[in-house]
Amino acid sequence: MENIVYLDNSSTTAPCNEAIVEMGRALKSDFGNPSSLHILGFNAEKRVNSARSALAGMLSCEEGEIYFTSGGTEGNNTALFGAAYAGRKRGNKIVTTEIEHPSVLEPVKRLEEEGFEVLRIKPQSDGTISEKSILDAIDSNTILVSIMLVNNETGAIMPVSSARRAIDSVGAPAILHCDCVQAFGKVPINVKKLGADIITASAHKIHGPKGIGFMYIKKGITIRPLLLGGGQEKGFRSGTEAVPSICGFYGAVKAIGDMDKNADAVRELRDYAVSKLKAEGIAVINSPDNSLPFVLNISVPGYRSETMLHFLEREGIYVSSGSACAKGKGSYVLRAMALPRERVDSAIRISFSRFNTKEDVDCLLSAIVSAKAALRRVR
């Protein structure tokens, strides 16, 4: 598509050229089954291992701690069910937050129905989770803690390392899971500093293909696999590896470059947008000041999200009203923050990538002003 302004990168990103090239090579040449005992299988396995090594390098972990999945949802489900079932003889409590992705909230709900005790931490009014609330929530009966690193709707950064300290201070047998889908490839992640036992991420958020992700599982952590069969991924995730998609993930990772430089450029765009929105009274900012700059949540009070989205789409500008998984139901994240209903109903999520420009921001702001004027006339 040409002549569009795409600002919905938290939903998905356009595959970069490097990812497309790597996928094409795998489809054309390295199409063997990585488990096959011939040269085509060996070549495919080599490509898979190269991707595994690149991902391990991104997290400063060992290659053997990386397991490929179909994406964030599978990873989160595997982490939550696997950790809960593995730990049920040592305790019964699960701690998470009210603002996790649905692929965490729904498994937790199922586990609660199965008899696990679940404590959901409420966010502060700015969308962040306080360190104190985490410390208060975790006790010696806690077997699983699941806290995302970056919220997908507001960009709020969560104190995951505080959860690690809380687990260690009370001697809880808890596994710490961190959904890094919105953070991976945008901010440096060192697994030792973060303190997570399990990390989940997805390629399509960093200009890779859909349908491929990975789990980091710390050596020594044992959880039950969801998929059984041929024993691929060291028996943890059976099924023939999706070599073209894994190669596409590899291409996307190679193309990231300097994460700090990327983040600085995006922060400049975000700050420019915020200053214009505030100065001209166009919208109210819902994201916290110290949020990840790739995500900016705003409200245009008096104008419903869906109406504004459709107007912007006609202008070739693509944003969202929140998580793509919500499908227009309204933001449970903003409701959990106790924002006024008018702000929740008029919320828009603007999400940047390293490929966006200041011109994209100008087009968006101009279109929002035009939308407000046009929609006022038809009231």
- By annotation, the residues acting in catalysis are 325
Rounded Cα–Cα distance for residues 240 and 227 (Å): 12
Helix or strand or coil: residue 185? Answer: coil
Contacts of 326 (CB under 8 A, 6+ apart): 102, 332
Rounded Cα–Cα distance for residues 75 and 45 (Å): 22
Rounded Cα–Cα distance for residues 20 and 289 (Å): 35
What's the chain's Rg over C-alpha atoms?
A: 21
The whole-angstrom distance between residue 62's C-alpha and the CA centroid of its chain comes to: 22
Pairing of strands 175-179, 198-202: parallel
Burial class (CB in 10 A: 0-12, 13-18, 19+), 103: buried
| Runs of H (alpha helix) within the chain | 17-28, 39-59, 72-87, 102-113, 131-137, 160-170, 191-194, 243-255, 259-279, 305-314, 332-336, 341-345, 358-377
The gap between the terminal CA atoms of the chain, to the nearest Å, is: 33
Task: Confirm if 317 and 372 have CB atoms less than 8 A apart.
Answer: no
C-alpha dist (Å) from residue 335 to 162, 284, 329: 25, 15, 12
According to DSSP, residue 200 is labeled E
Helix or strand or coil: residue 157? Answer: strand
Instruction: Record the tokens describing residue 283, joined without a space.
Output: 């919208």
